[in-house]
Amino acid sequence: MAFPILTSILLCPVIGLFLILLVPRRLENLIRLIALTAASGTLALAVRLCFAFDPSNPALQFMEHVEWIKSYGIHYSNGVDGLNLTMILLTAIVIFCGVLVSWTVTYRVKDFFANMLFLVSGVFGVFMTTNLFFFFLFYEIAVIPMYLLIVVWGSTNKQYAAMKLTLYLLLGSALMFAGFLYIYALPGAHTFDLTAIKQNVAFPFDVQKILYLTLFLGFGVLAACFPFHVWSPDGHVAAPTAASMLHAGVLMKLGAYGILRVGVHLLPEGARAWAPLVASLALCNIVYGALVASKQRDLKFVIGYSSVSHMGIVLLGISTMTTTGFNGAIFQMFAHGIMTALFFACVGFIYDNCHTRMLDELGGLARQAPMISSFFILAGLCGLGLPGMGGFVAELLVTIAAVSVYPVIGIASITGLLITAYYVLTAVQKAFYGPLNPHHAHVADTNPLQFFPRAVLVGCLIFFGVFPQVFINWISTSTKMLLGA
Amino acid sequence: MNLLLFLPETWVLITVVFLLGVILFTKENLSSILYPSVFLSAIILVLLSSYALFSSGELFYSTYRIDLLSQGFKWILSLCFLFTILFSRRLVSIHPEREAEYFFFLCTATLGMMMLTSAMDVLTLYISLELSSYSLYLLASLRESKINAESSVKYLVFGAAASGLLLWGLSLITGLSGSTFFSVISKDVPLLMEQPAFALGMVLASLAFFFKLSSFPMHFWAPDVYECAATPVTSFVATASKAAAVAVLIRFFILLGISQSFVVILGVIAFVSMTLGNAIALLQQDVKRLLAYSSIAQAGYILVGLLAGSFEGYSSSFFYAFSYVLMNAGAFLVTVLIAQSERHDNPGLVHFDGLAERSPFLALILLLSLLSLAGIPPLIGFTGKWILFAAAMDKGHWFLVLWGVLNSVVSLFYYLTLVKHAYLEKPRTSAPIPLPLPIKILGLALFCGIVFLGIYPKWVISFAQTAISKAMLL
């Protein structure tokens, strides 16, 4: 049997978690080191996976299969194609940087890192599994530690935000739960295995329509789709820095990934039937999110709403049901993941040092802390789609696809990009230029430890912006498969 | 006739006789040897039930059936008994002079429930149900306080009404088929199914079982009794009594079948039970009352599985009953210890404040049990709910499933509220909670059970499936 690289990626954080639980809580540096080792391990394995991956093969690769509960068709089975390969890489990068960024956490260190590792185990699990039971299991594992991370280490109205986030996400997962069981009960199914379901079950059109809507709403909550996005800015703002990074960077992608992997993959006709609705909701996301973001005074809220807006681009790409649109959507998931992680990492640094995130109370930080300012500005430029950054390619692909499929919505979505440019530049101008607030005269720039993780994120953004072909090459075979082309 | 088949019950009988002797012949306080001997007896009971787990046969002229279903539930019941004995190490609200009586009725209740799981005859069923019920009425009223007078009377009156309904229902069923043997009745079922009187008999008899399960419309006693009984008694009612109710419902439905119209009634009952339990639980301040409403909601979930009426439905109900016992025992373990350390047998939410600092281990047990009750993976309650609802979905009850899952989300709100008190509030006293060794072992065992059986439930599920398939072969 080949080396089970996927399970190893999953086991790294799990083993790290158990080691951390065994270490006495006063050995804080040891705990941090264990977390870092686990995160580096996953990153190394994920990079190795990317090199070993064969982009021309449309089937799932590195399959692993262990029978779990046979009578219910529940198997522990994993596999990657272009779709989840990129998501696994994204998660590995974000958790690696997240652990480094959280080096400065001092309150209940043990519990903090245990929760972080528990959360990413869930995320990795969702991205690699091909069984609906484990999909759901890992999905919820990724949600519950978030509650604890926000409620214990968070700020700004944290109890409210944490409860709201948890209940919203579980409401979404309740719909998923019902949808998955419905699939299980369809004639010919009686299994939770995705590949077996795809092969054996003929979904009538009516069923596809209802089921896709249910699943879309369920996943849409986590992907912050328009009327269900309200948990997300509150949650982002209340969460501690690393949790915000993971949350906006990775967790929201679980929703979009679920729509593609389960919704579009199993129910293509249902997806087509609802695509116009999805596109309209995505437009609301893009424009409404951007408008609200432009009115915020709290820097973290600006980014929180910008995430809503950017997730709209992902949804718009999915709604086009074309290869270009899908490629753009997946690219946007990746680029947005890295970008938001960078945003939150910078805001976290600013908040730790200036003890405020209000745009009016900041100002002139560019002279005081040039490195962190330029990181933030780079993330901002990526957000507004500057050529040469990852975000540009993604938004370009999605817009091309959208304009050709839904001309009105596609063109209207471009206004969202304009508003994005407006609020990003305003935020940058208010926070980093203009007169320096004398309260912040003592603020020093990043030390190497703080510099490194943020630089890694910037490096990824630029690398994939300059060489988008690497990324497109990974995913294009799989997106073609997804569309049945 | 092989009396070895009757081994666990015999052992309980021996303990009962011993306790009767203690009550009759000793005047002085015997608690120094009383507790250890009962504890020992409970451990022996668990061992004997494990020994008898795979035996099968029939006793007493086929009125008493020993099969994997009954033995599995007897094993669960013996565990519940052991848990309750462990929780009774320091009784907060029962007078030391009453201790012997307390253990006596605990044993008779266990005996009744064990017999209930094996009953294959209308009279056996009725007698064992009454044996367990009357013991529970007395146990609930043993608490040394005025406040439980109302609840005990309520319990007794409602219980008597329920057993009246049972008697009426069973007499209809028996009268129509002309036999008191379930094996004979079940052969007549295809003919009787369409008769209104038979349907009425089924409904009335089931209502009496719903009383034990504390599901709507027979749930009124639960909040008061949970609140006003001594905490170990509450935990016994919440674990053993529920398991016995599921056992008898499975047996009853397997033998007598569920007609289409009865499924509709069960569906309504499950729907209301889930909704009502969860909605009212949101408002509770007293933890035992909160757990009572949560048990009403959980009864609704179990009914969703039972009404599927299929092999998967019954086996997943069996699995869920087992998981329910584990997670409820976890929640009550913490509640009992808090009641003991506060010397107050009605812990409210505020008594849980800062539990994570006073005892991280207890806080962890509480967290896992409550999340498991809410159905959060990878815990056993999640797996149980998943297969329970899969069975119901298989029979097309998509609405109940959707409603059940939405209800789980609502339930998370009040479970998380309790968790929040344990983890986030400042403790009122910083005194650590002492954990005796047996409690530590129990906590660890529950922890392992809740986590590992949630992740890898294969053995338990296949046990439940074998048990149901054997019970379905008459």
Handedness of CA A324, A327, A333, A338 (dihedral sign): negative
Residues of chain A with pLDDT under 50: none
- Say yes or no for a CB contact (<8 Å) between B416 and A147: yes
Q: What is the mean pLDDT of residues B397-421?
A: 89
Whether A414 has its CB under 8 Å from any CB of chain B: the answer is: no
Contact B412 A141 (CB under 8 A): no
Any CB–CB contact under 8 A between A147 and chain B? yes
- What pLDDT, on the 0 to 100 scale, is given for residue A485? 55
Task: Give the residue among B182, B199, B169 at the shortest CA–CA distance from B118.
Answer: B182
Q: Does A152 touch chain B (CB under 8 A)?
A: yes
Whether A167 sits inside 8 A of B412 (CB atoms) is: yes
Nearest Cα residue in chain A from B311: A71
* Alpha-helical runs (H) found in A102-193: 109-128, 132-153, 158-185
Q: At what angle do helices B311-342 and B68-87 cross, to 10 degrees?
A: 10
- Whether the pLDDT of residue B318 is over 80: the answer is yes
The answer to whether B405 contacts A174, with C-beta atoms less than 8 Å apart, is yes
Structure tokens at B56: 């099968």
Which residues of chain B are within 8 Å of residue A133 when distances are taken between CB atoms? 386
Q: b vs e for A77-89, b when ≥16 Cβ sit within 10 Å of the residue's Cβ?
A: bbbbbbbbbbbbb
Q: Which amino acid, one-letter code, is at A477?
A: T
B398 with A182: Cβ contact below 8 A: yes
Residue among A10, A72, A121, A191 with most chain B CBs within 10 A, to mutate = A72
Whether A185 has its CB under 8 Å from any CB of chain B: the answer is yes
Query: What distances in angstroms separate CA A294 from CA A301, A309, A386, A391, B385, one per listed residue?
Result: 10, 11, 19, 19, 44
pLDDT tens digits along B271-285: 999 999 999 999 888
Chain B residues with CB-CB distance to A68 below 8 A: 456, 458
Residue B167 confidence class, pLDDT cut points 50, 70, 90: very high
Q: Taking CB atoms and an 8 Å limit, are B393 and A181 in contact across chains?
A: yes
Would you call A136 an interface residue with chain B, using a CB distance cutoff of 8 Å?
yes
- Write down the pTM of the prediction: 0.90
**pLDDT reading at B28 higher than 70:** no
CA distance, residue B393 to nearest chain A CA (Å): 6
- Looking at residue A136, its pLDDT comes to 92
Cα–Cα distance for residue pair B465/B460, rounded to 1 Å: 9
In this complex, the residue of A69, A166, A178 whose CB is nearest that of residue B457 is A69
Count Cα atoms within 13 angstroms, Cβ side, for A389: 21
Whether pLDDT at B109 is above 70: yes
Is there a contact between B462 and A178 if contact means CB atoms under 8 Å apart? Answer: no
- In angstroms, the CA B86 to CA B99 distance is 14
The residue-averaged pLDDT of B9-16 equals 90
Asked if the C-beta of A166 comes within 8 angstroms of chain B's C-beta atoms, the answer is yes
How many whole angstroms separate alpha carbon B371 and alpha carbon B327? 9
DSSP secondary structure string for all residues of B257-271: ---HHHHHHHHHHHH
Q: Residues B440-453: pLDDT tens digits?
A: 999 999 999 999 98
Residues 6+ apart with CB under 8 A from A182: A211, A214, B393, B398
Is the confidence at residue B27, as pLDDT, over 70?
no
For B352-396, the pLDDT digits (tens) are 888 888 888 888 899 999 999 998 888 999 999 999 999 998 888
Smallest Cα distance from A368 to chain B, Å: 37
CA A170 to chain B, closest CA, distance in angstroms equals: 6
Is the bond preceding B378 in cis, omega lying within 30 degrees of 0? yes
Q: What three-state secondary structure class fits A78?
A: strand
Hey, are the CB atoms on A140 and B424 less than 8 Å from each other? no
pLDDT of B104 higher than 80: yes
Whether B292 shows a pLDDT value over 70: the answer reads yes
Residue B386 C-alpha, separation from nearest chain A C-alpha, in angstroms: 8
Selected residue of B319, B388, B393 to mutate for chain A interface (largest A Cβ count, 10 A)? B393
List C-alpha distances in Å: B386 to A18, A124, B88, B392, B409.
26, 22, 34, 10, 14
Q: How distant, in Å, are the alpha carbons of A241, A347, B180, B216, B277 from that of B219? A: 47, 53, 29, 5, 9
Distance of alpha carbon B465 from alpha carbon B463, whole angstroms: 5
Instruction: Give me the torsion for CA of A289, A292, A298, A304, rounded to 10°.
Output: -10
Q: Where are the domains of chain B?
A: 3-472
Instruction: List the 21-60 stretch of A: residues with Cβ below 8 A of B.
Output: none
| Residue B296: predicted pLDDT | 93
Q: CA of B319 to nearest chain A CA: how many angstroms apart? A: 13
Instruction: Judge whether residue B81 has pLDDT over 90.
Output: yes
Which tops the pLDDT comparison, B59 or A337? A337
Q: B382 contacts in A (CB within 8 Å)?
A: 137, 140
Taking residue B474's Cβ as centre, other Cβ atoms within 10 Å add up to 11
Q: Is the peptide bond before A55 cis (omega within 30 degrees of 0)?
A: no
CA A150 to chain B, closest CA, distance in angstroms equals 12
From chain B, the residues in CB contact with A210 under 8 A are none
- Count up the domains in chain A and report the number: 1
Strand partners for B66: B57
DSSP H or E segment with residue A67: strand A61-69
Q: What is the pLDDT of residue B327?
A: 93
Tell me if B390 and A185 make a contact (CB, 8 A cut-off).
yes
- Which residues of A fall within a CB distance of 8 Å from B413? 163, 167
Q: Which residue bears the tokens 């980014």?
A: A303
In this prediction the ipTM stands at 0.85
Neighbours of B470 (CB within 10 A): 12
Mean pLDDT, rounded, for B243-252 = 92
Please give the Cα distance from A234 to A226 (Å, whole number): 15
- Position B31 scores a pLDDT of 62
Residue of A10, A11, A69 best to disrupt the B interface, most CBs of B under 10 A: A69
Residue ranges making up the domain that contains A290: 5-482
pLDDT the model gives residue B380: 92
pLDDT at A61: 85
Backbone φ and ψ of B78, nearest 5°: -65, -35
